Copies of this chain bind each other. A is one copy, B any other.
Amino acid sequence: MSILVVGSVAFDTIETPFGKAEKVIGGSATYFSVAASFFTDVQLVGVIGDDFTEEHLGVFRDRRIDLQGLERVRGAKTFHWSGAYGFDLNVAETRATDLNVFADFNPQLPESFRTPEVLFLANIDPELQREVLSQVERPALVALDTMNYWISSKKAELEKTIRQVDLVIINEAEVRQLTGDANLVKGARAILDLGPRTIVIKRGEYGVLMVTADRIFAVPAYPLEVVFDPTGAGDTFAGGFLGYLASGSDHSEGRLRRAIIFGSVLASYNVEAFSLNRLKEIGRAEIEARYRAFRELTEFGDYDATDVS
């Protein structure tokens, strides 16, 4: 099975209370691809400039990532984001966004990319998301991510795109912004009403909530003593989640839940270091160990019938 992702490949300049990283590899499609490649074959659609060198591309090599859809624009620069996190690491302050080649990004999928089983439309212009969707045979599962910028500037276009997808991955502030409802469950149901079958709400250090028509699943984030840099956590989560899901054809509630855990596992590793440095170090053993740690973190037994009187 394969998954196709369209999104950004970027350089990030990041300052956290623990240090600074200059022009390191980032971008939604980058984090997503590397995380998903632990589970399935990935087709990456994105755009880079001259400054994204062969050495930088090394982050994708020796992984199950097909780069035929990664366009290079000559004479131009790669998307560059610069941001800083305060003491509690929850909110990034954007210092600069240099779109560069990303400003004119107009994805054209190679022929071999037009039949993915799963499609992930990372956070890009919702009109562009629909343009990508029009270029593929309808996959078994289409998911999208978005951000506050599109909700405020192109809400109608975004809702039109949401109507065409199966699954929405979104953070909790965005649910409230998009639906105008402070209650997260009601907000999720309002998005379900647009058409998607599944809403996956990212809550940062508080974990994930998955809402479908008749079930809700909640899992806390893995409690870490060292959260070094939260950049890319959401896309890494999405990559682990959908990458695991795309490794089989079963999209039942039970398998969706396990996929949420694998996504949470990958995200928990990612925040332990700058850029993709931690993801580069881990393998199957680390992923399985933390999946088991999630079980130990969350499990509680049934009560004894004599307990409640």
A288 neighbours in B (Cβ, 8 Å)? 303, 308
- Smallest CB gap from A17: residue in B: B182
Bound CA–CA A298/B210 (angstroms): 11
Q: Are A185 and B223 in contact (CB under 8 A)?
A: yes
- Smallest CB gap from A218: residue in B: B220
With A258-B300, A284-B309, A295-B302 as contacts: A89 and B223 at CB distance below 8 Å: no
Q: Are B224 and A185 in contact (CB under 8 A)?
A: yes
- Min CB gap A127→B, angstroms: 31
Per the 8 Å Cβ criterion, residues 238-252 of A in contact with B are 244, 247-248
With A182-B89, A291-B303, A295-B302 as contacts: A223 and B206 at CB distance below 8 Å: no
With A209-B223, A300-B217 as contacts: A308 and B284 at CB distance below 8 Å: yes
Q: Mark A203-230, 1 if CB is under 8 A from B, else 0.
A: 1011101010001111110011111000
Q: Is A58 an interface residue (CB 8 A)?
A: no
Q: Are A261 and B308 in contact (CB under 8 A)?
A: no
- Min CB gap A100→B, angstroms: 34
Q: Is A297 an interface residue (CB 8 A)?
A: yes
Q: Are B297 and A218 in contact (CB under 8 A)?
A: yes
Bound CA–CA A203/B17 (angstroms): 23
Bound CA–CA A98/B179 (angstroms): 39
Q: Are A88 and B291 in contact (CB under 8 A)?
A: no
A297 neighbours in B (Cβ, 8 Å)? 216-218
Q: Are A219 and B303 in contact (CB under 8 A)?
A: no
Bound CA–CA A254/B287 (angstroms): 25
With A244-B307, A284-B308 as contacts: A225 and B302 at CB distance below 8 Å: no
Partner of A183, one of B227, B254, B258: B227
Residue numbers of A with Cβ under 8 A of B are 17, 38-39, 87-89, 176, 182-186, 189, 203, 205-207, 209, 211, 215-220, 223-227, 244, 247-248, 254, 257-258, 260-262, 284, 287-288, 291, 295-303, 307-309
25 A-B pairs with CB atoms under 8 Å apart are A39-B308, A88-B182, A183-B227, A185-B223, A203-B206, A206-B207, A207-B218, A207-B220, A216-B223, A216-B297, A217-B297, A219-B298, A220-B220, A247-B307, A258-B300, A258-B307, A260-B300, A262-B303, A262-B308, A284-B308, A284-B309, A287-B308, A288-B303, A288-B308, A291-B303
